[in-house]
Amino acid sequence: MGRKPLTKQYFGPPQEEAVRVFLTATTWDEKNTVYNTFLRDPLTKMIDSIIRRYRLYRPNMEYDDIHGDTLSFLVTKMEKFKPAKGKKAYSYFGTICKNYLMGQIMKDNRDRNRQISYEDISFSIEQDEKYSYEIFNDDSLPLEKVINTLITKIKDFIDTSRLNINEEKIGYCLMDVFLNYKTIFIAGKGNKFNKNIILYQLREMSGLTTKEIRSSLKPYKNIYKDILSSLQM
C-alpha cells in the first residue's frame, strides 16, 4: 500500500497570480471581486488544513468561529505580502495563519491560568481572617453610603489636585473597585474586606507594581479618614 493519492491542488499558480492582481488592484471593488472569485475558497481550505493538521483548536470556541477569526485576521495581513521578493503567497499566508493560531492558543492558556490562579488565591485569602479588616467599626454607618461618598470624594480629588500619572491612574482604579465592591472584595462578614484582593485588583487594572501602587495610594488615605470623621459627627 502506498501513500494516499494527492487531492486536487487548491493553491497553485492561478491563485498566486490572483494574489498579485489583488495586491495591485486600485479599488476595493476590484479587490473584492478578485478575492471572492479566486481566493476565498482556496484560503478557506488552507486554514481548514492548518487547523486540522496541527490540531490548533482553541478551548471554548466552536470550529467555525476559530476558522472565521483566522480568515479575518489573514485578510487584514494580505497587503503586507511582497511578490517581488520571490516568496510564494501560499507559504506566506500559511505561516501567518499558523503563527496567529498558536499565538491565540497561548494567550487563551495564559488567561485561563491567570483566572484559575486568581480564583485559588481569592478563595484562600477570603477564608483567612488575617487578610481582612474593618472598613469602619460603627455599625450605625451604612456601608453603601460610605462607599458612595468615597467614590465622589475621590473623583473630586482627582479633578482638583495636581497628581502624577500613577496617582491619577490609581484614583480611577479605586473608583472602579468601589463601584463594584459587592462583587469584588466583600468577605461576607459585616464591614470587612480583603485588602489583598483590592491590591490584586489594582495591580491587574493599572499594570503598576505593588511598590508603585502603595506609593500612589498615599494621597487618598486622608480622604477615607475624613469621610469617616464627618459621618460620625
Q: What does the alpha-carbon distance between residue 178 and residue 106 come to, in Å, rounded to a whole number?
A: 32
Same domain, 114 and 135: no
Domain boundary among 67, 99, 119: 119
Q: Report the amino acid identity of residue 26.
A: T
Same domain, 97 and 156: no
Evaluate whether residue 166 is within a structural domain: yes
Q: What is the mean pLDDT of the chain?
A: 77
pLDDT, tens digit (0-9, with 9 covering 90-100), for 58-71: 877 899 999 999 99
Q: Which residues contact 134 (CB under 8 A, 6 or more apart)?
A: 190, 191, 192
CA 182 to chain centre: 23
Per the model's pLDDT, the better-predicted residue between 173 and 197 turns out to be: 173
Evaluate whether residue 194 is within a structural domain: yes
Average pLDDT over residues 206-219: 84
Evaluate whether residue 3 is within a structural domain: no
Per the model's pLDDT, the better-predicted residue between 233 and 38 turns out to be: 38
Give one DSSP letter per residue of 35-74, joined into a string: IIIIIHHHHHHHHHHHHHHHT-PPTT--HHHHHHHHHHHH
Average pLDDT over residues 126-150: 57
Range of the domain at 185: 129-232
Per the model's pLDDT, the better-predicted residue between 158 and 190 turns out to be: 158
Instruction: Determine how β-strand 132-134 pairs with β-strand 192-194.
Output: antiparallel
Same domain, 24 and 115: yes
Same domain, 102 and 194: no
Number of domains in the chain: 2
Q: What's the pLDDT band for 169 if we cut at 50, 70, 90? A: confident
* Alpha-carbon separation of residue 35 from 20, 43, 63 (angstroms): 11, 10, 23
Evaluate whether residue 188 is within a structural domain: yes
Rg over alpha carbons for the chain, rounded to the nearest Å, is: 28
Average pLDDT over residues 181-203: 60
Same domain, 163 and 219: yes
Q: Report the range of poorest mean pLDDT among 55-69, 99-113, 124-138, 142-156.
A: 124-138
Same domain, 174 and 136: yes
Per the model's pLDDT, the better-predicted residue between 92 and 85 turns out to be: 92
Q: What does the alpha-carbon distance between residue 171 and residue 50 come to, in Å, rounded to a whole number?
A: 47
Average pLDDT over residues 155-162: 87
Residue 187, pLDDT > 70, answer no
Per the model's pLDDT, the better-predicted residue between 89 and 231 turns out to be: 89
Q: What does the alpha-carbon distance between residue 181 and residue 89 come to, in Å, rounded to a whole number?
A: 52
For the chain, what percent of residues have pLDDT higher than 70?
A: 73
Same domain, 228 and 176: yes
Which one, of 169, 172, 191, 173, lies nearest residue 182 by Cα? 191
Per the model's pLDDT, the better-predicted residue between 91 and 143 turns out to be: 91
Evaluate whether residue 178 is within a structural domain: yes
Per-residue confidence (pLDDT) for residue 138, from 0 to 100: 47
Question: Which residue is listed with cell 463601584?
Answer: 179
For the chain, what percent of residues have pLDDT higher than 90?
A: 27
Same domain, 99 and 181: no
Per the model's pLDDT, the better-predicted residue between 182 and 6 turns out to be: 182
Domain boundary among 119, 139, 166: 119
Residue 134, pLDDT > 70, answer no
Per-residue confidence (pLDDT) for residue 189, from 0 to 100: 45
Same domain, 108 and 23: yes
Same domain, 17 and 113: yes
Q: Report the range of poorest mean pLDDT among 48-57, 104-113, 137-146.
A: 137-146
